Amino acid sequence: EVQLVESGGGLVQPGGSLRLSCAASGFTISGYSMNWFRQAPGKGLEWISYIGISSSTIYYADSVKGRFTISRDNARNSLYLQMNSLRDEDTAVYYCARGRDDYGHRYYFDYWGQGTLVTVSS
């Protein structure tokens, strides 16, 4: 059974840092691209970052570019999101998801984790 389990969320002050992890089971992430999303309270879904199979291709949404860093450890079957310079507006549930097909118009997300809550507040 494919599972994605996020961890590392919590309460952090504005300007602080946090590192999220996404542990995969039931498949090996080395064969898939991976993504991070977030959902602010009562709001819709927002894609924030993509990492290709070899980590050579990485994309970020403008809202997090320069502050967040996505990475993967295929040996640990895990995905990570380092979040720096956090702002109030980064408060959200953060999800990881597996990507399918070539990155482009055919791309979609077939499995999502349960999410981890990040609260940025003083």
Partner 1 sequence: SYELTQPPSVSVSPGQTASITCSGDKLGDRYASWYQQKAGQSPVLVIYQDTKRPSGIPERFSGSNSGNTATLTISGTQAMDEADYYCQAWDSSTYVVFGGGTKLTVL
- Considering only the stretches 13-21, 25-33, 79-87, 108-116, report the one whose residues sit in contact with partner 1 under the rule CB under 8 A: 108-116
Q: Which of 25, 65, 101, 121 binds partner 1 (CB under 8 A)?
A: 101
Q: Does 113 bind partner 1 (CB under 8 A)?
A: yes
Q: Does 50 bind partner 1 (CB under 8 A)?
A: yes
The letter for the amino acid at 69 is T
Choice between 78 and 116, CB closer to partner 1? 116
Kindly report the number of other CB atoms within 10 A of residue 50's CB atom: 18
The nearest distance, CB 13 to partner 1, in angstroms, is 27
The nearest distance, CB 43 to partner 1, in angstroms, is 9
Tell me the three state secondary structure of residue 3: strand
Structure tokens at 81: 């999101």
Q: Does 104 bind partner 1 (CB under 8 A)?
A: yes
Task: Tell me whether residue 98 is exposed, middle or buried, using C-beta atoms within 10 angstroms of its C-beta: 0 to 12, 13 to 18, 19 or more.
Answer: buried
Whole-angstrom CA distances from 11 to 17, 37, 85 are: 10, 18, 14
Structure tokens at 104: 């482009």
State the residues that interact with partner 1 by CB under 8 A. 35, 44-47, 50, 59, 61-62, 95, 97, 100-101, 103-115
